[in-house]
Amino acid sequence: MEKWIVVYTAVHASEVSVLQAFLSLHDIDCRLRDEHTIQAQPFYSTAIGGVKVEVPAEQADRAFALLHEAGYSAVHPGSEDPEAAHDRAKQAEARLQRGVRMTAIIAVMVIVLAFIFFFKKETPDLTGQRWCVSLVEWKGKYYAPETFHDGISISILGCEETLRFHADGTISLPGFQSPTVNAFWKYTNDGVEIYEASDFASVYEGEYAIDCRGGSLKLISDNTVIEAGEVEFALP
């Protein structure tokens, strides 16, 4: 197998076209190595050692002499290790692939965060408003609440069963042929949590998603759904 020697390297393929013609003019066979790789991926040039001009081993001394006379800075014979250049190319490609993957991951994270930031549904302010409870669904069955106040039912602005979130963290809930149920509440990431109910804990306690729109309120937990609407006028 004929041995070829690298006599010149260049960062860009265009740099060696004149030199290749110069050597051919002096009857020296020459060929280019890694030319197409660098044309396709210019940023590989430094990693793989640029475009190599190779000549047959028996013509190397004459090629070096001609290049020196013409003012070219030729490489020293044997200074180019093809295997090392190949390894550098593989490493450069691996770095590029890692960079592309990391860029894609970062782009996805930015999109997700932007979506969460701009499109996350705001939790409505539930305080300062009386809600008229029309229906309570518990474990798939519907119940009509009926609150007794000292043995009688009281209607507030046409609403007998009310729900109210207080700013101090307490909540008033309708009873079921019983007095008003008092409990505590707090906002969560996805809605509200009702806890420490004075009665009907199995019905009312839990974490609820909030569906509040068009003057209606629906609280939805794993076991219970509370449907309500705004009382026409909020009372202090």
CATH 3.30.9 fits 130-230, yes or no: no
Listed as own residue / partner, the contacts of 203-212 with beta carbons closer than 8 Å and 24 or more positions apart are 203/136, 203/138, 204/173, 210/123, 210/124, 210/126, 212/124, 212/126
Condensed to tens digits (0 to 9), the pLDDT of residues 62-91 reads 988 888 888 776 554 444 455 555 555 566
Which amino acid is located at 71 in the chain? G
pLDDT tens-digit map of 142-175: 998 988 876 544 444 567 788 999 999 999 999 9
pLDDT recorded at residue 158 = 61
Instruction: Render 195-213 in DSSP notation, one character per residue.
Output: E--SS-HHHH-EEEEEEEE
